[in-house]
Amino acid sequence: MKITEHLKNAKSTLFSFEILPPLKGQSLKELCEGIAPLMEFNPPFVDVTYHREEYIFKKHPNGLLEKVSTKKRPGTVGICAAIMNRFQVDAVPHVLCGGFTKEETENVLIDLNFIGVDNVLALRGDAPKAERFTAEPDGHSFASELVEQIVKMNNGKYLHEETENSFHTDFCVGVAGYPEKHFEAPSMKFDLKYLKEKIDKGAEYIVTQMFFDNQKYFDYVAKVREAGIDVPIIPGIKPITTLGQITMLPRTFFLDLPDALTDELEKCKTNAEVKEVGIAWSIQQCKELVAAYVPSLHFYTMSKADATYKVAKEVF
């Protein structure tokens, strides 16, 4: 079922989450067992990320491990099929511009349609290793172009074909939004102009980058509405669970942690203490968002259910 239908049918805020395909050499069983407890909260959909870069570790005879980078982490399509089958949820694969030609995108979308996927999140993706993003030759430069391709397929228009096909896909397309602005955009106004382009081209809902200050989400929703966008805006939630994330999350995702949260986190000496603070903060955040009737709380689990479970147990 389409995300828009799930949201329309919902009587209260939904619970949803994002997982990563396992690294090469790790099993599907481990992933499924890891997320199984979250099914208690009846997620209607689960997102499966896509990664342009994959690290594998090569073991040398002297025992040392070497980090080897390869292109594209496999598994997104397979994991979607597996979780739909095993948990009876809708899977939402992330589809990227980066690393794909238009034809490769078309082929992935055909496979996704054949396995019964009804929704995709269309993203540009980042450049590997903090370089400047460049599209593949004959690939897309911006997520709006990818949205356009998906919507054309929904209308029966494939690449290199003049005529309309009788069979066509019917994907519901979501896109990303940034309550603290996308890091490359010179201003929020600029970013919203291109968010609107994604919606005008046919995207039907927005999932936000994680944020830790609800006011940023509320202000963002107001600005998005002022920009003439009326689709649902699903907030992204991430409970902080390790000491490393205190600096890694702001640096990687270009966001601020509120002073009240960093004051608490600074007192922590161990990951266990950080996790306790992170979970308590998320619970508070989620309760306020539910009271504001947000469409769904969408958790960035990084495929680890524990913290998300503890938050959801208090909120749903």
From residue 228 to residue 267, what is the string marking binding to ligand FAD with x (rule CB under 6 A)?
Answer: --------x-------------------------------
CA distances to 83, 107, 147, 183 from 298, rounded to whole Å, are 17, 28, 21, 21
Supply the DSSP symbol for 143.
H
From residue 99 to residue 138, what is the string marking binding to ligand FAD with x (rule CB under 6 A)?
Answer: ------------------------xxxx------------
Whether the CA torsion 142, 256, 210, 48 is positive or negative: it is positive
Interface with ligand FAD, residue 216, by CB under 6 A: no
User: How far is it, in rounded angstroms, from Cα 90 to Cα 196?
Assistant: 26
Amino acid sitting at position 175: V
From residue 188 to residue 207, what is the string marking binding to ligand FAD with x (rule CB under 6 A)?
Answer: --xx--x---x--------x
User: How far is it, in rounded angstroms, from Cα 249 to Cα 257?
Assistant: 9
Q: Which is nearer to ligand FAD, 31 or 277 (CB)?
A: 31
In this structure, are residues 13 and 297 in contact, taking their beta carbons and an 8 Å threshold?
yes
Report in angstroms how near the CB of residue 64 gets to ligand FAD at its nearest: 29
Token digits for 78? 């397979």
| Residue 18 falls in the annotated catalytic set | yes
Q: Which is nearer to ligand FAD, 53 or 273 (CB)?
A: 53
**Residue from 4, 13, 16, 49 binding ligand FAD (CB under 6 A):** 49
User: How far is it, in rounded angstroms, from Cα 288 to Cα 282?
Assistant: 10
Match 């669970």 to its residue by tokens: 241
Q: Which is nearer to ligand FAD, 126 or 273 (CB)?
A: 126
In this structure, are residues 121 and 92 in contact, taking their beta carbons and an 8 Å threshold?
yes
The residues annotated with a catalytic role in the active site are 18
Q: Summarize as ranges the residues that interact with ligand FAD (CB under 6 A).
A: 49-52, 94, 96, 123-126, 142-144, 176, 182, 184-185, 190-191, 194, 198, 207, 209, 236
